[in-house]
């Protein structure tokens, strides 16, 4: 049997109309079933609506090893239209090398920037393609290309693609009206660059089989064919595969890779898998897998990072479009960070420690979320102390089916697509999914995220050397009983313990085990003498006036933590 060609998936991404489909067409020698805007709706609108696949075979470049053999580039033509970003995110997750197509007459555009962000999250390597150079006036073409090349180099400076190759082409010189005979410019040079950038993607046949299906059709008398890219594991003739969306399991009857029958395929391969007949309309896009290997989850814990280009803050309780693996759903987030003692701890990849305590955050902590005033206080140099790792709890509006440890991207897709702003907000890794619909009761209590609570009140008067009466710490209707035994601190330094309620107006008694200091006693005696002159009004009035009474010299502070998901709402002090 001839050696299998080595397959490298090349994504073609870029702003709408930059010429991605034209470029894929110019590059490919063999078109697969789903290539080149075949769908009638796509042709009618002149835009790409779905992922297109085609391939290009070349001789194996030297860095990929000696001996004869072929290199197959599977070109994944992604749509450019902003509304199709979910498809683009799905496409980016199966590629090894990304081509970012830029219209040389326009430069970076909004979706070019979004594609760059997606590339940074999902791809290892990139080549920038400056397309439509035929539109530059011939005399100034070279200098215009050089200028744009410099600009792109600058844009990429602070990305992981710094220094990546930039190639100038015209995929379809003359545009749509030009005759097909018109030869593209620069494409053979581009192929050389692609070959030089090709690397042996790490492929691993072990683990569960998982494939992203992008196309499904039936063949009379044979069965239904699903084409797609194998994301993990491997598959052989006769294997059972599950289609989770349809809740069915089917046997693999035959397989093809680019029109050639095969008996085995593994991670990174593009295959068509034929199984016993089912209605192909039921599965246009989706996942197939080893039976029972995916989980369907209602909520998840992820570790995450904010996307630097996203303007604004990430607020707890906000809703995002959340892409989990290959599905996108609406979800609500709650951010949390390490507890202060663990702030500098190293990043733990791919695991979540349920033994640890975590600190609830109203928003994701980033340089711009910490106010400049706090900033000054915390650090002279203006450097904000940020934890090395942060997490979020995601609660989905409807359950999603996804692999474990999959990529998660949060975006604000309801942002106006003409707003010229990055809609991608955060990315992360799914660490723990919650399959139980009643996860709030069965699962969340295990998650030890706490809020720090702080209450302040005032000492009203001294009872004796070992006890004082406090007020303004609780509301009138608060059940003080549940606070009994908690430690408090007086602003004069004494430690105290809440002993019980006192009267009906939310006042309470504090025991001072070590006794009041003489200075404190004096301070309080003077203050209460002044006050008693005012006479006795009714209780609420007194309470109100006392709130504004800054003359009270001694304050009481009560601090405790409370776990967000503790059903008993226990207050805990260290």
Ligand X SMILES: Nc1nc2c(ncn2[C@@H]2O[C@H](COP(=O)(O)OP(=O)(O)OP(=O)(O)O)[C@@H](O)[C@H]2O)c(=O)[nH]1
What residues line the site for ligand X (CB under 6 A)? Answer: 14, 16-22, 47-48, 79-81, 131-132, 134-135, 170-176
Q: Which of the choices Mg ion, ligand X, none does residue 16 contact, using the CB cut-off of 5 to 8 A by kind? A: ligand X
The answer to whether 242 and 251 are in contact (CB under 8 A) is no
Contacts of 181 (CB under 8 A, 6+ apart): none
Long-range CB contacts for residues 120-123, cutoff 8 Å, separation at least 24 = 120/159, 120/160, 120/161, 121/92, 121/407, 121/409, 121/427, 122/89, 122/92, 122/93, 122/95, 122/407, 123/11, 123/92, 123/95, 123/96, 123/97, 123/98
Write the DSSP symbol of residue 39: S
Q: Which of the choices Mg ion, ligand X, none does residue 148 contact, using the CB cut-off of 5 to 8 A by kind? A: none
Q: Which residue of the chain is nearest ligand X when measured via CB?
A: 80
From the list 42-50, 176-184, 346-354, 552-560, the region that binds Mg ion by CB under 5 A is 42-50
Q: Which of the choices ligand X, Mg ion, none does residue 411 contact, using the CB cut-off of 5 to 8 A by kind? A: none
Contacts of 522 (CB under 8 A, 6+ apart): none
The answer to whether 230 and 268 are in contact (CB under 8 A) is yes
Q: How far is the CB of 114 from ligand X (least distance, A)?
A: 12
With respect to ligand X, which residue has the nearer C-beta, 20 or 298? 20
With respect to ligand X, which residue has the nearer C-beta, 215 or 448? 215
The total number of residues shown for the chain amounts to 574
The answer to whether 410 and 425 are in contact (CB under 8 A) is yes
What CA dihedral angle connects 6, 188, 166 and 142, to 10 degrees?
180
Q: Which residue of the chain is nearest Mg ion when measured via CB?
A: 48
With respect to Mg ion, which residue has the nearer C-beta, 22 or 322? 22
The residue among 505, 506, 512 whose CA lies nearest residue 489 is 512
The answer to whether 6 and 97 are in contact (CB under 8 A) is no
Residue 155 in tokens = 């844009």
With respect to ligand X, which residue has the nearer C-beta, 134 or 242? 134
Q: Which of the choices ligand X, Mg ion, none does residue 132 contact, using the CB cut-off of 5 to 8 A by kind? A: ligand X
With respect to Mg ion, which residue has the nearer C-beta, 75 or 145? 75
- Binding-residue pattern over the window 44 to 63 for Mg ion, x denoting contact by CB under 5 A: ----x---------------
Q: Which of the choices ligand X, Mg ion, none does residue 285 contact, using the CB cut-off of 5 to 8 A by kind? A: none
Rg (CA), the chain: 32
With respect to ligand X, which residue has the nearer C-beta, 16 or 314? 16
Residue 15 in tokens = 């702003």
Q: Which of the choices ligand X, Mg ion, none does residue 19 contact, using the CB cut-off of 5 to 8 A by kind? A: ligand X
Confirm or reject binding of residue 18 to Mg ion (CB under 5 A): no
The answer to whether 299 and 396 are in contact (CB under 8 A) is yes
From the list 12-20, 107-115, 292-300, 346-354, the region that binds Mg ion by CB under 5 A is 12-20
Confirm or reject binding of residue 20 to Mg ion (CB under 5 A): yes
Q: Which of the choices ligand X, Mg ion, none does residue 234 contact, using the CB cut-off of 5 to 8 A by kind? A: none
With respect to ligand X, which residue has the nearer C-beta, 21 or 323? 21
Confirm or reject binding of residue 471 to Mg ion (CB under 5 A): no
Token look-up 């139980």 returns 436
Please state, as a whole number, how many other Cβ atoms lie within 10 Å of the Cβ of residue 539: 14
Q: How far is the CB of 39 from ligand X (least distance, A)?
A: 12
Contacts of 547 (CB under 8 A, 6+ apart): 472
With respect to ligand X, which residue has the nearer C-beta, 176 or 238? 176
Q: Which of the choices ligand X, Mg ion, none does residue 135 contact, using the CB cut-off of 5 to 8 A by kind? A: ligand X
Q: Pick the binder of Mg ion from 7, 9, 21, 87 (CB under 5 A).
A: 21
Q: How far is the CB of 306 from ligand X (least distance, A)?
A: 27
From the list 21-29, 203-211, 229-237, 424-432, the region that binds Mg ion by CB under 5 A is 21-29
Q: Residues interacting with Mg ion, by CB under 5 A? A: 20-21, 48
């Amino acid at each position: 049997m001839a050696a299998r060609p080595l397959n490298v998936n090349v994504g073609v991404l870029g702003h709408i109309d930059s010429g991605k489909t034209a470029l894929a067409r110019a590059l490919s020698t063999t078109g697969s079933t789903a290539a080149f805007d075949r769908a009638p709706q796509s042709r009618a609108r002149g835009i790409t609506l779905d992922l297109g696949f085609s391939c290009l075979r070349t001789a194996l470049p030297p860095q990929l090893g000696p001996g004869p053999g072929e290199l197959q580039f599977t070109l994944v033509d992604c749509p450019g239209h902003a509304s199709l970003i979910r498809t683009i995110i799905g496409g980016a997750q199966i590629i090894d090398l990304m081509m970012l197509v830029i219209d040389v007459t326009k430069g970076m555009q909004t979706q070019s920037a979004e594609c760059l962000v997606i590339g940074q999250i999902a791809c290892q390597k990139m080549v920038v393609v400056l397309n439509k150079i035929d539109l530059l006036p011939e005399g100034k073409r070279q200098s215009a290309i050089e200028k744009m090349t410099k600009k792109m180099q600058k844009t990429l400076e602070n990305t992981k693609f710094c220094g990546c190759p930039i190639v100038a082409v015209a995929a379809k010189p003359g545009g749509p009206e030009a005759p097909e005979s018109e030869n593209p410019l620069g494409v053979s040079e581009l192929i050389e660059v692609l070959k030089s950038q090709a690397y042996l993607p790490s492929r691993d046949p072990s683990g569960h089989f998982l494939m992203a299906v992008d196309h499904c059709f039936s063949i009379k008398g044979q069965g239904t064919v699903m084409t797609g890219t194998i994301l993990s594991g491997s598959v052989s003739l006769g294997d059972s595969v599950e289609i989770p969306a349809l809740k069915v399991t089917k046997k693999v009857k035959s397989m093809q890779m680019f029109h050639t029958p095969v008996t085995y395929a593994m991670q990174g391969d593009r295959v068509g898998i034929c199984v016993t007949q089912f209605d192909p309309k039921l599965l246009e896009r989706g996942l197939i897998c080893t039976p029972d290997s995916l989980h369907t989850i209602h909520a998840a814990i992820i570790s995450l990072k904010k996307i630097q280009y996203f303007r604004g803050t990430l607020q707890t309780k906000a809703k995002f479009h959340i892409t989990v693996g290959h599905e996108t759903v609406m979800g609500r987030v709650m951010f949390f960070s390490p507890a202060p003692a663990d702030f500098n701890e190293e990043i733990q990849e791919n695991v979540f420690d349920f033994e640890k305590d975590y600190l609830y955050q109203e928003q994701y902590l980033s340089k711009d979320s910490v106010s400049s005033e706090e900033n000054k206080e915390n650090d002279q140099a203006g450097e904000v102390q940020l934890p090395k790792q942060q997490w979020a709890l995601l609660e989905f509006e409807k359950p999603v089916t996804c692999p474990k440890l999959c990529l998660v991207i949060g975006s604000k897709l309801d942002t106006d697509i003409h707003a010229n702003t990055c809609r991608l907000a955060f990315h992360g890794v799914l660490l723990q999914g919650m399959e139980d619909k009643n996860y709030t009761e069965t699962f969340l209590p295990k998650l030890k995220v706490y809020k720090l609570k702080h209450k302040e009140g005032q000492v009203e008067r001294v009872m004796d050397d070992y006890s004082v009466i406090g007020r303004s710490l609780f509301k009138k209707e608060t059940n003080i009983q549940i606070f009994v035994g908690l430690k408090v601190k007086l602003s004069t330094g004494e430690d105290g313990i809440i002993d019980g309620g006192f009267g009906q107006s939310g006042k309470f008694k504090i025991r001072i085990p070590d006794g009041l200091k003489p200075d404190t006693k004096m301070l309080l005696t003077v203050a209460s003498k002044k006050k008693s002159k005012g006479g006795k009004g009714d209780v609420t009035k007194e309470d109100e006036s006392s709130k504004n009474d800054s003359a009270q010299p001694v304050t009481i502070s009560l601090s405790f933590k409370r776990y967000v998901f503790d059903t008993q709402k226990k207050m805990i002090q260290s």
